[in-house]
Amino acid sequence: MRIAIYPGTFDPITNGHVDIIDRAREIFDRVIVAVAGSTNKRTLFSSAERIAMIREIVKKHKNVSVDRFDGLLVRYAQSKKAIAIVRGLRAVSDFEYEFQMALTNRKLDGDITTVFLMPHEKYTYLNSSIVRELATLGGDVTEFVPPNVRRRLTEKMKSVRG
């Protein structure tokens, strides 16, 4: 079975992320969306909230699951017997960092391949930071995130604003 890990913070998951999941599930027998639990990033949503949102989105796909991971990604991938790590590349600016990470991961375990997937061009500018900022400023995020995420963002912004 060809298992791939799609790791990320997913704070929140965007339509670009969903597009990468859809592409990966066509290539691999099983895709595990691995939500980073402990991270240096300050997240808007807890890891439990992020996992719940993603599970709601992917529940229709039998070959996609969602899990939390902490620590070294390569160790997590090894524990799941994954053969690949999936990463999305939106623009050239993503490439240098992702290239460095891929080479480091290859050095740690040469049997795990990093696979770069490009999202649909309509999502190439999109990232979670933009979505969070737009939501914080009261903007409409309908085109950028799945409906369940839009609802959660709206609720979260109401509670943040008081």
3-state secondary structure of 41: coil
Q: What is the pLDDT of residues 108-153, one digit of tens each?
A: 999 999 999 999 999 888 899 999 999 999 899 999 999 999 999 9
Active site residue 41: yes
Token digits of residue 19:
């597009």
Active site residue 68: no
- The arrangement of secondary structure in 3-161, i.e. its CATH architecture, is 3-Layer(aba) Sandwich (3.40)
Q: What is the pLDDT of residues 33-91, one digit of tens each?
A: 999 987 777 899 999 999 999 999 999 999 999 999 999 999 999 999 999 999 999 87
Q: Which residues contact 84 (CB under 8 A, 6 or more apart)?
A: 2, 3, 4, 5, 28, 112, 113, 114, 115
Residues 41, 75, 120, 151: which is the catalytic one?
A: 41
pTM for this entry: 0.94
CA distance 91 to 64: 26
> What secondary structure letter does DSSP report for 122?
G
Active site residue 90: yes
Residues 128, 132, 150, 152: which is the catalytic one?
A: 128
| Domain spans in the chain, listed from the N-terminal domain onward | 3-161
Alpha helices in the chain (DSSP H): 15-27, 47-58, 73-79, 92-108, 128-136, 147-161
Active site residue 122: no
